[in-house]
Structure 1
């Protein structure tokens, strides 16, 4: 795996105040709920869990107030559920007068295995500052310690780094003020006869709930940003569960308000203090603005949103013309990457061709809604793109789409071509049936993001039983490894895989993995 940071300091951005005001119009009220820990736990060796690390109850939470802690003592709180919020706890000293400060180390973890690692040993290429830990000095006790930072976690480890030999400390009233822009109790829930699918759905719902904050975040632990690829999938899952269309509108307006001067839409935007577009651009993510807009208007039509945002979608498409030849071939540019998946183990050329076709069909629908005469030109270009895919990229002898100069056959190419409906329904069925036979078990795909597209392709091709089986094997496997929210990256063949060179910064609650919520509603309900 490899990745190169994009640093484009010479890019000039628009800042459309009208569109930004629209984004703020849809700013959500954050719902806060108080969560109390369920019990004290300890780490145990458990080969059935991620990294062979499990948990076991050590004490009831009521016993915490009776326990004293001195230098090097520690305990772990289990909140009983994943939380996104701020932690607080009451601390008192016991014994002689307090003749030295109290030093604490507090670590937060979404999964127990995170406590296995020491941040001093971190050597990944993402910033070490994402580590969820605090070193705190307290001069005077008693105190109600309230941490100012928001964390994403289920478990809290508190270690007494030092007191003095004369006194110790006691802890009480640990709580989390958890937050989200939606109420999980109000979610739409389908009925399942299959208990395993019901659990898979619930964990997906947990994941989506935690990532719905001021915007649709990609991950509340890291990066806490609005990414276009994640947004497209989150929005679909949201329509069938929380149905908070205002949050989708807010996110689309943020992307639209801060495009590059040349029409490109940033792959992500920062929203913490002020709105800032990132100088990172991706071919497929830019096109997914078109997709997300079309999905929204199919779910809930608004002439105002069409009028405001269709011109932005159109400009993105026009920028991408430099990567499409006159015969309908999509050419990749290493400086304008096509993401598809974190894995760099497969060629992405044909996936890019299919994504272009997929999103152009949606642009044509938008053009029809907008009564744009350019629809005719778009339809002619679509014919060329599809013709190239069928005549140049589909190997009739092998029965697969090929990709790149080495004519590689990979699963991503087949899945995306099925989703783009380049072939007819019968041909799609045969393609995914052949893919299931020859390209499974899946290898070299690193994220639930790409697994979603494979699973959806199975459903689209009429292979419902195979799609359910894959969902149980993949998302169900995360649950069996201890997940109560789904992860950013997961390769079943190496469960602790990290795209960042070190699993310490992996996100175990990540937006693009929530899609069983949509898949189960769309294809089984």
Structure 2
């Protein structure tokens, strides 16, 4: 993973208590449900599943779980039937001679079988090992009911007895997860497709979104567990296409608006537990996407009062970013305010960033019209300048592609220019056809975040068949490898890829991957 930590300890943040109070007023109800495991399973080699690891049903029956005594190094894997987010509880007793030593055990939680095969002691990745979902526990007296206080994200739970004594064995019963989500299914009407593959892609997208819908739109319930603005933009679009929980989008926007730097810049992400804290990480388009998220909300559910309240914060993001463009309309990137586009730094991002600015400026001007901003004409002229630079300098007619400052032609540049509708509809279609011919198949891109934008650009260019094909080959491939929810990172050419050095810390339920529900509803419906 090329994206690196930012440490900006000298940045000072403001806290607008009025806006924070409004965010608190939109805090959702967390719905809880008790779910018991469906079966007991064992890990097996399976070349068709992620990392060649799958599961098969054990000879042991979940209905007779209390009959199985576990001694030193014995283990049992519980399968909860689908991806779950919540707290875990289990009753433990002992059988045999009197308990003459404590029970020492490990409980391991896994979203996919690949994690069950990985050992935490072997992890040497750069991300904190504290994210690994396992607990080492001593219990002095049995029987006891063990209730773990942490929230986990998993389908499988491995119970391993590290030691008892030769005289007795541990016995388990009544395992359950108390799931947590604020997703409201009461008014949700799922889409139905004649194509079973599209139906599966849609259904798993809904599940992914629901498990990331907590007291904010989390990026992932297993790891990070926070509110990122780039993720929020996509989650909000998926939300309007499914649960349509407008208040939760408002809560997230208020949180970002309430905690800006002293100069008014919005952080790339915020923490909400144990209290509201903005992170000292800043990304070029993530701050801009505050504007996009506000615009998209107004498109889905017009709210002029909200626009008027949050417009000054949106305008500040636009003004800060405009300072990065020279008198010719060219983006001059700032390493302290990096253009993200995708994790990979194997391609130049200047042109994609230029397009992202055009994309957002068009939305900003529409918001400016709502509040009747007297400076609209200035922004329109800036947009024209930045767009003209893209058309006249960055676009190379002989290639029918946009180039970067390195004279590089990459997919991201074409995709964002098409999404920004810099050229006409006919030209956009031609550019994406050239992109397919010259730059496909997609290589060295390992995030559903970027794949979303590629698929959407194909749809926007009128290449529906190609868009659906890419959706099936990407999200469908995750499903074939065993996905119950969509992943944070996935490279079809390297399914075992981990940006962190091990699958044990990968997030296999990540919000920026849920967008097929939005794409299918907007562009496909049930064709």
- TM-score, normalized by the shorter chain, greater than 0.5: yes
2:290 counterpart of 1:280: no
Supply the distance in 2 between the matched residues of 1:409 and 1:470 (Cα, whole angstroms): 20
Supply the distance in 2 between the matched residues of 1:375 and 1:442 (Cα, whole angstroms): 39
2:413 counterpart of 1:413: yes
Supply the distance in 2 between the matched residues of 1:432 and 1:402 (Cα, whole angstroms): 14
Residue of structure 2 in register with 1:471 after alignment: 471
Residue of structure 2 in register with 1:260 after alignment: 261
Residue of structure 1 in register with 2:244 after alignment: 243
2:115 counterpart of 1:114: yes
Residue of structure 2 in register with 1:83 after alignment: 84
Residue of structure 2 in register with 1:292 after alignment: 293
Q: For 1:306-364, what per-residue CA distance to the aligned partner results, in whole angstroms no more than 9, with x for missing partners?
A: 12211100011111122111211111111211111111111111110000000000100
Supply the distance in 1 between the matched residues of 2:313 and 2:499 (Cα, whole angstroms): 32
Supply the distance in 2 between the matched residues of 1:375 and 1:27 (Cα, whole angstroms): 34
Residue of structure 1 in register with 2:144 after alignment: 143
Residue of structure 2 in register with 1:403 after alignment: 404
Task: Tell whether the 8 Å contact from 1:390 to 1:422 is kept in structure 2 after alignment.
Answer: yes
Residue of structure 2 in register with 1:229 after alignment: 230
Question: Which segments of 5 or more consecutive residues in structure 1 lack a partner in the other structure?
Answer: none
Task: Tell whether the 8 Å contact from 2:114 to 2:503 is kept in structure 1 after alignment.
Answer: no
Residue of structure 2 in register with 1:55 after alignment: 55
Residue of structure 2 in register with 1:322 after alignment: 323
Q: For 1:94-118, what per-residue CA distance to the aligned partner results, in whole angstroms no more than 9, with x for missing partners?
A: 1111111101100000010001111
Supply the distance in 1 between the matched residues of 2:247 and 2:62 (Cα, whole angstroms): 39
2:52 counterpart of 1:18: no
**Equivalent position SS for 1:512:** helix
**Equivalent position SS for 1:323:** coil
Supply the distance in 2 between the matched residues of 1:307 and 1:416 (Cα, whole angstroms): 28
Residue of structure 2 in register with 1:442 after alignment: 442
Residue of structure 2 in register with 1:497 after alignment: 497
Supply the distance in 1 between the matched residues of 2:221 and 2:185 (Cα, whole angstroms): 16
TM-score normalised to structure 1 length: 0.99
Q: For 1:149-168, what per-residue CA distance to the aligned partner results, in whole angstroms no more than 9, with x for missing partners?
A: 00000000010011111111
Q: For 1:412-451, what per-residue CA distance to the aligned partner results, in whole angstroms no more than 9, with x for missing partners?
A: 1100100000000000001111111221110011100000
Task: Tell whether the 8 Å contact from 2:118 to 2:503 is kept in structure 1 after alignment.
Answer: no
Q: For 1:12-51, what per-residue CA distance to the aligned partner results, in whole angstroms no more than 9, with x for missing partners?
A: 1010000001100100010001111000000111100000
Residue of structure 2 in register with 1:210 after alignment: 211
Supply the distance in 2 between the matched residues of 1:185 and 1:209 (Cα, whole angstroms): 13
* Cα offset, 1:2, TM superposition: 2.3
Task: Tell whether the 8 Å contact from 2:123 to 2:501 is kept in structure 1 after alignment.
Answer: no
Q: What are the residue-to-residue correspondences of 1:90-239 with 2, within 5 Å?
A: 90-184=91-185, 186-239=187-240
Q: How many residues align?
A: 524
* Cα offset, 1:185, TM superposition: 6.0
Supply the distance in 2 between the matched residues of 1:492 and 1:368 (Cα, whole angstroms): 44
Alignment root-mean-square deviation, CA: 0.9
Supply the distance in 2 between the matched residues of 1:185 and 1:483 (Cα, whole angstroms): 25
Task: Tell whether the 8 Å contact from 2:183 to 2:243 is kept in structure 1 after alignment.
Answer: yes
Residue of structure 1 in register with 2:513 after alignment: 513
Residue of structure 2 in register with 1:383 after alignment: 384
**Equivalent position SS for 1:250:** helix
TM-score normalised to structure 2 length: 0.98
Deviates more, 1:296-305 or 1:480-489: 296-305
Task: Tell whether the 8 Å contact from 1:88 to 1:174 is kept in structure 2 after alignment.
Answer: yes
Task: Tell whether the 8 Å contact from 2:37 to 2:175 is kept in structure 1 after alignment.
Answer: yes
Question: Which segments of 5 or more consecutive residues in structure 2 lack a partner in the other structure?
Answer: none
The alpha-carbon distance between structure 1 residues 434 and 384, as it changes in their structure 2 partners (threshold 3 A), is same
Supply the distance in 1 between the matched residues of 2:332 and 2:499 (Cα, whole angstroms): 25
Supply the distance in 1 between the matched residues of 2:162 and 2:242 (Cα, whole angstroms): 44
Q: For 1:362-412, what per-residue CA distance to the aligned partner results, in whole angstroms no more than 9, with x for missing partners?
A: 1000000111112111111110111000001001111110012x2100001
Residue of structure 2 in register with 1:360 after alignment: 361
Supply the distance in 2 between the matched residues of 1:48 and 1:94 (Cα, whole angstroms): 40
2:77 counterpart of 1:73: no
Supply the distance in 2 between the matched residues of 1:369 and 1:60 (Cα, whole angstroms): 62
Task: Tell whether the 8 Å contact from 1:342 to 1:499 is kept in structure 2 after alignment.
Answer: no
Task: Tell whether the 8 Å contact from 1:446 to 1:490 is kept in structure 2 after alignment.
Answer: yes
* Cα offset, 1:186, TM superposition: 4.2
Q: For 1:217-255, what per-residue CA distance to the aligned partner results, in whole angstroms no more than 9, with x for missing partners?
A: 000001000000000000000001000000000000000
